[in-house]
Structure 1
Amino acid sequence: MQATTEDAELNKELNTTNNGITIFAPSDNAFSSLKSGFLNALSDEDKTELVKFHVLPALVSSSQFQTVSNPVRTQAGTGPRVALNVTTTGNFVNISTGLTNTSISGTVYTDSQLAIYQIDKVLFPVDIFTPKPPAPAPAPELGKPGKAAPGAESPTAPKDISGALTPLILVHNNALPLAVLSCMVAAIFL
């Protein structure tokens, strides 16, 4: 938090607003389970967004999780790119981002302005951590004379891709994220 200056931002908010703050604090094991060097490889902007994604700009007591509206607003913003959803079953509070699914494992601290809850995984917003599709391969040059390798298709021969489009149509109808759809398209045409 200090490296991103989010600690100063939180102190300022706690002293100037009446809404309070809720923080989801990943356990030491949550950070230990990350790939070595993962956090250091992030840009400063991504680190800041990652920290802000763990902070709600309002105090949420443990009993209020049953009544929050999803997606829950974080300091990283709102919308599908930084969606954070909370579901409850009894006293069990589950948190899902689309990439991370975890639960609150305990209360670290709570008062009238601040609540800190321990979670078992680092929360990853889709905006930063969805794998980016590979860059498209350069288009083959058509019409140049040359000999194709034995068994290879002619570079000018059209490919029948009609069967390959069926999974795309099914995926699109189920509304998977655009990044997943893009990866599938790239895989089909590569």
Structure 2
Amino acid sequence: MTEIERIKKNIDGELPKGKYGIIIVQDMPNPKHELEIFKQTILAILENISLHEENSKWEKLLPKQLVEFTNQLEEEDYHKDDLISHIPNMIRHFREQRKWEWFSSTMLENDEGFEVIVIGNLDTIALPLLHHQGIPFTSIFLEENDKLYPTRYITDVLTYKTFDTKTLKLKKK
């Protein structure tokens, strides 16, 4: 089964043989929606992997929530927040530095969040994609070799701005 097929079909937290890691996202208003946006983002990149990162088509291919969040950022935000970048940089980093493949996903108990199980070395390429959806660092964790790691970065744009998931707008706090 290809990675694209696993994203679409493996939705019950299936575990692969061998080394794997888990991306855990919790404490958000609508985790099912956020998981769907994350899937759409990964699928858009995988299905258009040969499209140049500077091509304006990315803004139509990627989920609206991710694009609108990114496009409303101010230049100062790119210097303060450790995980955000312009869309072309996000695409470039995904292609060049990713060391994992999506294996499955599942909702956490009581729909309090979701998990994505990945094959290979868990790295941080997924974190910027999740953060560009308006998910704060404090809601993203990585689990590898039975150890849980919080996402720790110096400044999160969502600590000095709020993201309204209904209007898709950032507001200063």
Fold match by TM threshold 0.5: no
- Larger Rg belongs to: 1
> Which is strand-richer, 1 or 2?
2
Report the TM-score, using the length of structure 1 for normalisation. Answer: 0.31
Higher RCO structure, 1 or 2 (CA under 8 Å, sep 6+): 2
